[in-house]
Structure 1
Amino acid sequence: MRRLLAALFLTVPLVGTAFATEPPRPEPTHTILRFDDLNGWAQDDHGAALDVFLNTCGDMRDLDWRGLCRVAADQTDARRFFELFFRPVLIEDGDPMLFTGYYEPELRGSRYRGGPYQYPLYRVPDEGREGLWLSRAEIEEGDLLAGRGLEIAWIDDPVDVFFLQIQGSGRVRLDDGTALRVGYGGKNGHDYRSVGMELVRRGEYEPHQVSAQVIRSWVRRNGEEGRRLLHHNPSYVFFREVTEVPADRGPLGAMNRSITNLRSIAVDPAYVPLGAPVWIEKGGRDPLKRLTIAQDTGSQIKGAQRADIFFGTGEEAGRRAGRVKDTGRMIVLLPIQRALALAEEF
């Protein structure tokens, strides 16, 4: 899932681009720490972290993780469990730590077109499943998808549709009082282009001024020109209706399990195993020190010291996530033998 809000306006979104060429990855270093080295470790709610760990550890395939998952299910002292069976490992690749935030948008919509509900969320069409297809402007200004029954819902705000496509998943509050959840279904194969960077290029804002709220406001103030700004990004995301997740649970992450507010993060699985506990020490305006679980990924979450923190659902979660672009450090908790083997290798 996911998803990269604070940096997306000047970079690219969480939804992956199949045709991008990735640069060679640097060789990481591994440093084993003590739990006493983790700032704030003793004050955290380790039981809350253990609950989130149990949500996905059963899906981990390596024998050492599967064994730990069985042990974790019987624990009554969560802190003791983590300290007894894991070692904190600082993994570095030369790049500084960057924390960003993401969230699950909540939109207003209808199953049927009418009144304010004029902007569709489409299922992926057969011809759009592989390779390069129509651009955003061609899809939104043409009628190739109309009348084919591909609409999941109709939304009242085109800017909300745009940001939903960047996040990759969300909820829709329907006009009949019910709700539905949508997830990433596919994309049209075009590379993402930042509308925030385009506003900076035009001289409308300085880079530090660009945010989700700023872009929303500019698009709405500028009518047709605002719509054309969104067309600067040719990438277009299609959705699927998600029916297997209860309404009181978070959206699905990369492990196909619900993620949890402020306890689930997106990481680069080239460095951090999905499902692993990760201690984060985020600085900035709202410091955060807690044990999280690596349960998601993102196309721009690359590097050993890179994490996207899930902030929850709705407008307030979006505001909080959008403020995050902070330094700090993240330390992965690895099974003892795995941690010692990595330290010996490097």
Structure 2
Amino acid sequence: MTRALWFLICLWLPLAASAEPEELNHKILTFDELKDWETDDHDAALEVFLNTCPDLADPDWGSLCALAQQKPEAKPFFELFFRPVLIENEKAPLFTGYFEPELQGSLQPDARFRYPVYRQPYASKISDQWLTRREIETSGVMAGRRLEIAWVDDPVELFFLQIQGSGRIKLQNGQTIRVGYGGKNGHEYRSIGVELVRRGIYEAHQVSAQVIKNWVRRNPIEGRELLFHNPSYVFFRKLTKLSSSAGPLGAMNRSVTPMRTIAVDPAYVPLGAPVWIEKEGDGPLRRLMIAQDTGSAIKGPQRADIFFGTGDAAGRAAGRLRDPGRMVVLLPIQRAFATLPEITP
């Protein structure tokens, strides 16, 4: 993310970094300790694993991918060659959701379609920190550069397209354009959900994507200023080789799969690894997912974003999700034991 999807709708999480050394706890579990492990569709998880495992360069992963390509029985495959590793720090576990939005658009601007979806300008590629969101949208700096991929009819949906990092633009002639993450302006993401809470407009538990969208639309002047609170700006690229039935591209530059792909923090979870999730809250979810994506707000070993799919229904479901639980990464056996601290006499 890249996002490729940066996907994400954890809109009110502040980003913070600690100067203190981080304390991590690694614990190897048994598969019997994974809630409802026996009842999952392991074959479905294996298919998703196969989508990205050829890109895993390390020899232990490469060997397991080669074996997986022979289509073994899925559940014994995971149980024989992996060990579940629980990695924790002081932060509470949190699951959120993301999706691929669909916007209405046009290849030409008019009175309805006035908001451009831009490719990345060269100047921003050679600068660590280019113009802010406000400057890009109000200064006229983008005019005449022929960087417009399309124009859409809703600036709020365009803002959320940038948060998700990829999406579909449905044209009036019935055709659809797929767009993916193409770069950014170098400014740090600032959560507009956090800002609404700071202003006292909502309590933290009330904030969701739909709540934010509704508030911005009810308050167009203040709403535009709220969007400018986030100086980060995402540019896109047109995806011409992605079939209409495939999911959007994740951080591994492969299509992600609804309810089997998660975005993780690759500082703790290897991209491409199987991850067992135990999401609590409304509609508990126990499922073997594959870590195929990342996100700017996905920080920590117990932080994950679940991909819900494409369109409004997926967006509503993703926007409601904010639940506790735990996630356990499945690592090749030797790699799993290598995570344990050395015991000194």
TM-score range, shorter chain: over 0.9
Residue identity in the other structure for 2:150: A
Give the aligned partner of residue 17 of structure 1: none
Q: Does 1:187 align with 2:220?
A: no
Segment drifting more, 311-320 vs 182-191: 182-191
Map 1:197-346 → 2, pairs under 5 A:
197-343=194-340, 345=342
Give the aligned partner of residue 11 of structure 1: 14
The Cα of 1:262 is off from its aligned counterpart by 0.8
Map 1:168-187 → 2, pairs under 5 A:
168-187=165-184
Residue identity in the other structure for 1:338: R
Shift of the 25–290 alpha-carbon distance from structure 1 to 2, 3 Å rule, reads farther
Residue identity in the other structure for 2:6: R
Give the aligned partner of residue 50 of structure 1: 46
Shift of the 146–81 alpha-carbon distance from structure 1 to 2, 3 Å rule, reads same
Give the aligned partner of residue 39 of structure 1: 35
The Cα of 1:24 is off from its aligned counterpart by 5.4
3-state DSSP class of the match of 1:113? coil
Q: How many residues were matched structurally?
A: 339
Give the aligned partner of residue 154 of structure 1: 151
- Distance in 1 between the 2:13 and 2:296 partners? 14
The Cα of 1:69 is off from its aligned counterpart by 0.6
Give the aligned partner of residue 86 of structure 1: 82
3-state DSSP class of the match of 1:189? coil
The Cα of 1:193 is off from its aligned counterpart by 2.4
- Distance in 1 between the 2:173 and 2:239 partners? 18
Deviations 1:179-206 (A, max 9, x none): 1111111222222222222222333222
- Distance in 2 between the 1:133 and 1:31 partners? 43
Residue identity in the other structure for 1:244: K
Map 1:67-82 → 2, pairs under 5 A:
67-82=63-78
- Distance in 1 between the 2:64 and 2:33 partners? 23
Deviations 1:209-254 (A, max 9, x none): 2211111111111233322221222221111111222111111111
Shift of the 45–124 alpha-carbon distance from structure 1 to 2, 3 Å rule, reads same
Deviations 1:270-310 (A, max 9, x none): 21111111100000112110000111112221211111111
- Distance in 1 between the 2:319 and 2:17 partners? 27
TM-score (norm 2): 0.93
Give the aligned partner of residue 135 of structure 1: 132
- Distance in 1 between the 2:300 and 2:229 partners? 28
Out of 97, 107, 110, the residue aligned to residue 101 of structure 1 is 97
Shift of the 22–202 alpha-carbon distance from structure 1 to 2, 3 Å rule, reads closer
- Distance in 2 between the 1:276 and 1:146 partners? 43
Residue identity in the other structure for 2:89: D
CA contact (8 A) 1:3 1:308 kept: no
Segment drifting more, 189-198 vs 300-309: 189-198
Give the aligned partner of residue 122 of structure 1: 118
Runs of at least 5 residues in structure 2 that lack an aligned partner in the other structure: none
- Distance in 2 between the 1:5 and 1:253 partners? 12
Out of 48, 56, 61, the residue aligned to residue 65 of structure 1 is 61
The Cα of 1:123 is off from its aligned counterpart by 0.8
- Distance in 2 between the 1:88 and 1:225 partners? 48
The Cα of 1:322 is off from its aligned counterpart by 1.0
- Distance in 2 between the 1:11 and 1:257 partners? 28
TM-score (norm 1): 0.93
RMSD (CA atoms): 1.8
